[in-house]
């Protein structure tokens, strides 16, 4: 298949390019280096240096003999994305090309406006380019479990059946995001659902929980091909942050009471989920929604797990409760359904002590690169 990966330079984008290429698919990766520029601007660059996309593609070919085609450009510019679709007419388009950080979206008006413009326009442009040049293209959009919020009922996989005054119907599950970033992801889903109904697009929306990890089979071939691993307050996911904090002796920053529960998954499971979705595509006129998580943990549970393994390895790991910069429930019910990807063939990687130990040892190799000032920057929702 011809696979377009939008946001190919990202934490998940580059590993996805390699994952599909290794399995024999023609991969086209596009990116505008937003995250690299924003990380420099905010003084929170990735833990280890990453070559640019063209250099990574060369490293990939050196190691495997396979080609990943790279284009540098902004998919929120319709003419750029239109040209990509006209040239390649992809059979699947994987959409990572969004501003991916809740804290970044809450810094100030400028970043808020950028988040809205970039995220919605990139999705709208994808819809129009696919409709014009590749109407059978299967759009795989990375959503987020954060769209749902923390409702006091079980979270179904995207849809809910409602009976009201003797009538029944099926609706998108009610969503109540906790940041502007998550709100734009809700808007993306609504936008795609409109064009699925109107133009018969085929779409899979993957409601993904926070991802952790560094290693994939492909990235392990060559240090030049490692993912962009962030540990800072803006772009680092919570477990990745805790791992780095543990290694450098920075107290694990638990927001508020620490009883916030979320669904997590290993980066290798993200690769599986996206691949399984592409190989078993949605039908024309279908918006298919999968909850992409493997295990549930509270923030306290993650911190205690990291501390236990870190202490065993000889690190001095402390846990600190800090004022919660976010507006969110710290005590809540949380019970999402996540069976559909398992039924497609997902074989989960679980967060064992051995996995934590391996990640801590990997981070330790780069501890001299850690910028402690980037761990807690002080972005608040109020």
Active site residues: 144, 181, 185
Checking DSSP bridges between strand 26-31 and strand 68-72, what pairing results, if any?
Answer: parallel
Cα–Cα distance, 343 to 338 (Å, whole number): 10
Cα–Cα distance, 193 to 188 (Å, whole number): 8
Q: Tokens representing 78?
A: 């319709």
Could you give the C-alpha distances from 57 to 8, 14, 25, 224, in angstroms and in order?
Answer: 11, 10, 15, 10
Residues 6+ apart with CB under 8 A from 301: none
Q: Tokens representing 119?
A: 């995220």
CA atoms within 13 A on the CB side of 202: 15
Using DSSP's 3-state secondary structure scheme, residue 268 falls into: helix
Q: Which alpha helices (H) appear in the chain, and where do they start and end?
A: 13-22, 34-41, 53-64, 78-88, 102-105, 109-133, 180-199, 238-248, 267-279, 299-312, 340-344, 353-364
Using DSSP's 3-state secondary structure scheme, residue 168 falls into: strand
Furthest-apart CA atoms within the chain: distance in Å: 64
Checking DSSP bridges between strand 252-255 and strand 286-292, what pairing results, if any?
Answer: unpaired
Paired strand residues for 172: 159
Asked if 125 and 189 count as a contact pair (C-beta separation under 8 A), the reply is no
Number of H helices, E strands in the chain: 12, 14
Residues 6+ apart with CB under 8 A from 231: 47, 240, 241, 243, 244, 245, 370, 374, 375
- What are residue 268's phi and psi, to 5 degrees? -65, -30
| Nearest by Cα to 253 from 351, 114, 372 | 372
Asked if 345 and 274 count as a contact pair (C-beta separation under 8 A), the reply is no
The secondary structure element, H or E, covering residue 261 is strand 261-266
């Amino acid at each position: 298949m011809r696979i377009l990966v939008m946001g190919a330079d990202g934490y998940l984008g580059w590993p996805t390019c390699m994952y599909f290429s290794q399995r024999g698919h023609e991969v086209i990766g596009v990116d505008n280096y937003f995250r690299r520029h924003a990380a420099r601007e905010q003084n929170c660059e990735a833990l280890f240096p990453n070559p640019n996309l063209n250099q990574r593609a060369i490293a990939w070919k050196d190691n495997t003999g396979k080609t990943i085609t790279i284009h540098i450009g902004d998919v929120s510019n319709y003419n750029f994305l239109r040209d990509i679709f006209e040239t390649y007419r992809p059979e699947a388009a994987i959409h990572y090309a969004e501003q991916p950080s809740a804290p970044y979206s809450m810094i100030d008006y400028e970043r808020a406006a950028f988040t809205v413009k970039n995220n919605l326009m990139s999705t709208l442009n994808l819809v129009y380019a696919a409709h014009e040049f590749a109407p059978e293209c299967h759009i795989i959009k990375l959503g987020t479990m954060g769209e749902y919020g923390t409702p006091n009922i079980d979270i179904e996989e995207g849809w809910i059946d409602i009976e009201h005054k003797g009538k029944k119907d099926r609706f998108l599950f009610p969503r109540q995001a906790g940041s502007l970033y998550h709100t734009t992801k809700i808007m993306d889903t609504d936008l795609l659902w409109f064009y699925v109904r109107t133009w018969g697009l085929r779409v899979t929306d993957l409601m993904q929980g926070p991802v952790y990890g560094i290693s994939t089979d492909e990235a392990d071939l060559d240090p030049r091909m490692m993912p962009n691993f962030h540990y800072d307050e803006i772009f680092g996911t919570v477990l990745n942050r805790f791992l780095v904090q543990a290694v450098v002796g920075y107290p694990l920053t638990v927001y508020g009471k620490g009883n916030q529960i979320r669904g997590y998954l290993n980066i290798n499971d993200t690769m599986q989920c996206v691949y399984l979705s592409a190989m078993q595509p949605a039908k024309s006129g279908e918006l298919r929604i999968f909850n992409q998580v493997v295990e549930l943990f509270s923030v306290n549970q993650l911190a205690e797990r990291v501390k236990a393994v870190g202490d065993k390895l000889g690190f001095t790991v402390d846990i600190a409760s800090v004022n919660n910069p976010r507006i969110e429930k710290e005590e809540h019910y949380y019970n999402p359904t996540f069976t559909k990807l398992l039924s497609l063939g997902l074989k989960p990687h679980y967060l064992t002590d051995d996995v934590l130990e391996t990640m801590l040892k990997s981070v330790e190799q780069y501890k001299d690169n850690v910028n402690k000032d980037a761990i807690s920057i002080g972005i608040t929702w109020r």
